[in-house]
Structure 1
Amino acid sequence: MSISIDLNRLKFYIWVGVAYFLLWLIIDTANSSASFLPIFINSVWLAIYLTLLNFTFFEYVLPWLRKKRRYLLVTIILSIVTVWMLLMFCTVGLFAWRGIGLLLRLYTALQSFSSMEKGMTYFAPHGIFSVFFFGLVRHAYNYSKLKQASQQLLIEKQQAELNYLKSQTNPHFLFNTLNNIYSLARDKSDLAPESILRLSKLLRFMLYETSGDYIAIEQELRIINDYIALEKLRYDESLRINYNYDVEDMKQAVPPLILVPLVENAFKHGVSETRGMPFVDIHLSVKQRQLSFIVKNSTEATTAENGIKENIGLSNLRRQLELQYKEYHLSVKHQDSMFIATLNINLGSHV
């Protein structure tokens, strides 16, 4: 049976071994009157053994011991044997490794022992402490890697959800626009060709400008303006539209189509259902990275019992904001025969 070695894990144990070597070097230097060089070489020699011992134990022996077996008694016996063998390697093995170093003249005998038992007793704390040291560092490292993997998985999941929401928003937006053109074509309106031309501009924007995470706010304003112009083709002079903005930096980044759903909602679920004098008031303000977007539109009066039922556009917008910004507020309300949507975003709080 071949045993594969994970080089990344081996590098990790080497670095832990270096840390353990430095720690023990400080302890030995403080407790010994010998010169620094032999203490340094001795510590390196012992650190090599303990690094290999702990690497083998934690990466191969322990996973093998954790394997599920048919009988619990077998696992208990194997555990006892493994602990006993680990103690032997931490005492007898470490003392024997010292002896090999002496034979190879790589280790300097700074202490003399009258018996093998006394030598093993001297080195036992060294070996046993290394198991706890490597084990704690390994546990912290594995926990950190697991936490990073969980965070990465969460980020990927949220990105997938955000992409899905965007994929829903774009067709939803285009279907509504096509419905507008269909109405003009059905009425054989002379404005149908112009509406198709404007739709082509919207499609071009969808295909080439919205694939990234952010666009300049001037592009978002341009698409809103094109959408309003397309909507105006459906209505006569009775429709009043007030569209203004106060933006200190047109190059500030915002997610593509983050403002459009509120404008679209004003026309589709407000103006189109108004029997009286329809209107849409749109105001955007961006100052010191604080975005304020207010859309007011005419609507039929509703009772308090009916409440406000959000459509797919508003629901998707709310979720997109949740995924992309830490500080935002989106509110919608009816006030007499007027629907008001207010969006506030701290553009500096993007995730």
Structure 2
Amino acid sequence: MKKSWQIFWHFFFWISMISFFMFIAHNNSKIATVNLLVTFVGYGAINIGLFYLNYLAFIPKFLDKKNYGKYVLYVLLAVVVVGFFKYGVGWIFHEYILTGRNGKTINFASYYTSALFTSIIFILLSLLLHFTVDWFLNERIQRDLENQRLTAELALLKSQINPHFLFNSLNSIYSLAYQRADNTPDAILKLSEIMRYMLYECNDNKVDLAKEVQYLQNYIDLQKIRFGEKCYVNFDIDGIISKQQIVPLLLISFIENAFKHGVANDPASPILLKISVDEGSLHFYMHNKKHLLNRDAAGGIGLVNVKRRLKLLYPGQYHLNISDINDTYTCELSLVL
């Protein structure tokens, strides 16, 4: 909030409070208007001045710097001096302030004690405001730091996807080149289309689901080029995907694992992939037969990555179930788009 607005709201608050208490006092007593003005406006200005003396001077200069001894000393000195000042104002307006309803003059001890009590209340109010503002500022700083940390972590996780994907894809193309396959150029062209999407379409927090599905299809096509006619994959889409959005590069790790660790050349056990979209939710299903001899000795980062991204980007809005038993691997993911 700009400083000018802060001053305005502080001014508005005090004017409102003084007016409110004057209205209450006027309706519940027969005190003269002049008496009310002197009491609430004059003494209100003194108390408000003490409030800001503590809030703007004593607290930042002594309390925030943990110089507690000086802080207590200056506050006590200010309260004592303001108490005498209030009595001086009361003496000037003797007939309105120091004269009771019975016509007798209020003695110094009673009046001064009351003045000290009021001053201490405004000191405590300024302390309460200070600690409240500090608490909210610290909360906001903590939230900002947490958001920055999560943003940095997500950026790191996303940056890991491209090298991981490229590493696996280049292995596939290397296999084609090693075999001197005629469709190697087609594989390279398909990879360039995939990388173009990853570089230029995935910079936003979410992308169109239709584009993400096309990206997955391109990857599957790349794998079909690699395996040739012996690649058996069933990829089904159910529901309307043109009006939905999803976090980019979220599902690719599952499909990569299906080709990397699964059996894609068995017509009896094809890789099954299905995406169903219904009323703002997505259900992804994958099932493949495992290639027991085709394991990544270094351990993959893909699934660890996607699990962490799901936790950060869809907290409480997803359910992931992975079944890795015997010679089959099944993955089911449901999330709110």
Deviations 1:272-301 (A, max 9, x none): 7x8896621101111122211011112135
Q: Is the 8 A contact 2:18 2:44 kept in 1?
A: yes
Q: Does 1:345 align with 2:331?
A: no
1:55 alignment counterpart: 52
Unaligned 5+ segments in structure 2 are 100-104
TM-score normalised to structure 1 length: 0.79
Q: Partners of 2:236 and 2:285 in 1: how far apart?
A: 10
- Tell me the distance in 2 between the aligned counterparts of 1:96 and 1:185: 99
Counterpart-to-counterpart distance in 1, 2:4 and 2:109: 37
| CA shift for structure 1 position 60 | 2.5
Residue in structure 1 matching 2:83, options 83, 91, 95: 91
Closer/same/farther in 2, CA of residues 54 and 299 from structure 1, 3 Å limit: same
SS in 2 for 1:52: helix
Q: Please report how far the alpha carbon of residue 110 of structure 1 lies from its aligned counterpart in structure 2 after TM superposition.
A: 3.3
8 Å contact from structure 2 (residues 239, 276) kept in 1 = yes
1:145-156 equivalences under 5 Å are: 145-156=137-148
Does structure 2 retain, via aligned residues, the 8 Å contact 1:94–1:127?
no
After superposition, the C-alpha distances for 1:139-193 in whole angstroms (9 at most, x for unaligned) are: 2232122112212221221111111111111221122112212221222211111
Structure-2 change in CA distance of 1:211 and 1:41 (3 Å): farther
SS in 1 for 2:234: strand
Q: Give the counterpart letter for 2:44 in structure 1.
A: A
Q: How far has the Cα of 1:334 moved from its partner? A: 2.1
Bigger shift: residues 115-124 or 289-298:
115-124
In structure 2, the residue matched to 1:319 is: 308
| Deviation digits for residues 33-83 of structure 1 (CA, Å, limit 9, x no counterpart) | 2356863575344333323322222333234334467xxxxx64x455334
User: Using the alignment, how far apart are the partners of 1:310 and 1:32 within structure 2?
Assistant: 83
What residue is the counterpart of 1:234 in the other structure? Answer: 226
**Which amino acid letter does the alignment assign opposite residue 284 of structure 1?**
I
Partner Cα distance (1:263, 1:36) in 2: 82
Which residue of 1 is the match for residue 40 of structure 2?
Answer: 43
Checking the alignment, whether the CA contact within 8 Å between 1:241 and 1:279 is kept in structure 2 is yes
Matched, 1:126 2:118: yes
CA gap of 1:154–1:94, structure 2 versus 1, over 3 A, is farther
The residue aligned with 1:111 is 97
Q: Residue 133 and residue 179 in structure 1: after superposition, are their counterparts in 2 closer, same or farther (change >3 A)?
A: same
**Which secondary structure does the structure 2 equivalent of 1:331 belong to?**
strand
Q: CA deviation at 1:20?
A: 4.9
Partner deviation per Cα, 1:96-146 (whole Å, 9 max, x = no partner):
46678x6xxxxx963334355454344333322222223223322321221
Over 3 Å counting, the alpha-carbon distance change for 1:261 and 1:86 in structure 2 is: same
Residue number among 317, 324, 329 corresponding to 1:334 in the alignment: 324
Compare 315-324 and 152-161 and name the one that shifted more. Answer: 152-161
Asked if residue 298 in structure 1 is aligned to residue 289 in structure 2, the reply is yes
| Structure-2 separation of matches of 1:225 and 1:166 | 20
Q: What secondary structure sits across from 1:233 in the alignment?
A: helix
Q: Distance in 1 between matches of 2:138 and 2:13?
A: 19
Aligned mates of 1:232, 1:86 — CA distance in 2: 84
Give, in whole Å, the separation in 1 of the partners of 2:279 and 2:34: 62
Any conservation in 2 of the 1:238–1:277 contact (CA below 8 Å)?
A: no
2:64 equivalent to 1:64 = no
TM-score of the aligned structures, taking structure 2 as reference length: 0.82
Task: Indicate the RMSD between aligned Cα atoms, in angstroms.
Answer: 3.3
Identity over aligned residues, as a percent? 27
